[in-house]
Amino acid sequence: MPTKARAAVLWGTDEPWKVQEIDVDDPKEGEVLVRWKAAGLCHSDEHLVTGDMVPNAETLTAMGLDSFFPIIGGHEGAGVIEAVGPGVRSVAVGDHVSASFVPSCGHCRYCTTGRGNLCDAGAGTLGGGMITDGTHRHHIDGKPVTLLAKLGTFAELTCVSEMSVIKVDDDLPMDAVSLVSCGVATGWGSATRRADVQVGDTVVVVGIGGIGMNAVQGAKMAGASRVIAVDPLEFKREKAMEFGATHTFASMEEALPEVTEMTRGQMADKVIMTPGVMYGELMEMAQTLTGKGGTMVVTAVAPIEQKDSSINLFNLAMYNKEVKGTIFGSLTPRNDIPRLLEMYRGGSLKLDELITERYPLDGINEGYQAMRDGTNIRGVIVYE
């Protein structure tokens, strides 16, 4: 019997999230029902609203889809297992879990070589039905509705693959767990894993939202001697100082002469790009801020069809620089989500301080307006 639940559904680009009732089917083989307790408002869901992350008609056809909408949003989340389908081994009813927007099959080439963020089961993340068999478990008036990243944490209850959830300790606060499931892991990993920040490095982080703030705290934990936070908003720059930044600037242009001066012209070892939207033209300044042999990490999501980027390839080669992309901060969910939560428990990782505002599900559009206005580090939906 399907269970009724309330969910924030997007019916098209440039529309508000609509909170409405959905039907959720029972879990099948390898699936679980999760009652979500908290869901973070990440910028990636906003990319659905703006259309930046919506595939064009040609790509949709290649994916075997007629339409991208309606879709239930949300991929940052923490919840409790309400029911399990046949064959589920990694979690049981009552377990507390973190969402993981990249699944972990445990068997593929990537899962077995410490690159869990690249698990092959993530291939259909942007569309279609369940990871398990491609069919749908969520319906509105009998019509199928998809889940963002196969999770849909902007719903009271969803049915997901057991590959998409990770058991966590029961005593951890759900809102803190939800943030680790995407923003914290992605930002922290962008600095510590993908940029591979070393003791004494000079690190520039561009864009201080839920992701960039965690790149700042990751760079600090990795021992960077200078962590330079760049954001046009004063509120973000002030907060960045509390998370470990040593200097802040309103723009990359403003940072350039100062970084030149403080590094005696050597420039940054690592530049991490975490603005709300990644535009190709931002790479010119990112490259200028990067020193010889330095690394640029692109974490932010660019408009899906954008191909141009202002990288000077002559300088890239002659100064031996590198540009790296990253999904999930290049971490492995099953290892790193519990590990980050242990750091939180031990007091070395700040999570509570990331939450600016909590909202009921009905406050979702207010929460995203706050993101556009730049007044939240992270907003979190908390369910009853």
Give the Cβ contact number of residue 2 at 10 Å: 13
Is residue 275 a contact point for ligand NAD (CB under 6 A)? yes
Site string for ligand NAD, 168-207 (x = CB under 6 A): --------------xx--x-------------------xx
Give 111 or 230: the residue with its C-beta nearer to Zn ion: 111
Can 75 be counted among the known catalytic residues?
yes
Contact 90, 162 (CB under 8 A): yes
Residues 6+ apart with CB under 8 A from 20: 6, 7, 9, 140
Rounded CA-CA distance 359/363 in Å is 5
Q: Which two tokens stand for residue 293?
A: 């042999």
Residues 6+ apart with CB under 8 A from 169: 96, 341, 345
Which one of residues 22, 24, 34, 42 is an interface residue with Zn ion (CB under 5 A)? 42
Q: Which of 108, 111, 159, 182 is catalytic?
A: 182
Q: Which of 75, 96, 138, 247 is catalytic?
A: 75
Is residue 44 a contact point for Zn ion (CB under 5 A)? yes
The residue among 23, 30, 2, 3 whose CA lies nearest residue 133 is: 30
Give 161 or 181: the residue with its C-beta nearer to ligand NAD: 181
Rounded CA-CA distance 310/293 in Å is 19
Can 47 be counted among the known catalytic residues?
yes
Is residue 37 a contact point for ligand NAD (CB under 6 A)? no
Which one of residues 301, 337, 340, 349 is an interface residue with ligand NAD (CB under 6 A)? 301
Q: Which two tokens stand for residue 69?
A: 């909408």
Is residue 60 a contact point for Zn ion (CB under 5 A)? no
Is residue 328 a contact point for ligand NAD (CB under 6 A)? yes
Is residue 379 a contact point for ligand NAD (CB under 6 A)? no
Q: Residue 128 touches which of Zn ion, ligand NAD, none (CB < 5 to 8 A by kind)?
A: none
CA–CA distance from 312 to each of 234, 260, 280, 301, 320 (Å)? Answer: 31, 19, 12, 21, 12
Compute the least distance from the CB of residue 44 to ligand NAD, in Å. 4
Give 36 or 101: the residue with its C-beta nearer to ligand NAD: 101
Is residue 60 a contact point for ligand NAD (CB under 6 A)? no
Q: Residue 276 touches which of Zn ion, ligand NAD, none (CB < 5 to 8 A by kind)?
A: ligand NAD
Can 111 be counted among the known catalytic residues?
no
Contact 127, 68 (CB under 8 A): yes
Where would I find the beta strands (DSSP E) of the chain? 3-10, 18-24, 31-40, 71-72, 78-84, 96-99, 138-140, 143-144, 146-147, 157-161, 165-168, 202-206, 226-230, 247-249, 268-273, 290-298, 322-325, 355-359, 378-382
DSSP letter at 144 equals E
Q: Residue 105 touches which of Zn ion, ligand NAD, none (CB < 5 to 8 A by kind)?
A: Zn ion
Q: Which two tokens stand for residue 127?
A: 């569309």
Write out the catalytic residue numbers.
Answer: 42, 44, 47, 75, 182
Contact residues for Zn ion, defined by CB under 5 A: 42, 44, 105, 108, 111, 119, 182
Residues of this chain that bind ligand NAD (CB under 6 A): 42-44, 47, 182-183, 186, 206-212, 230-233, 236, 274-278, 282, 299-301, 326-328, 371, 374
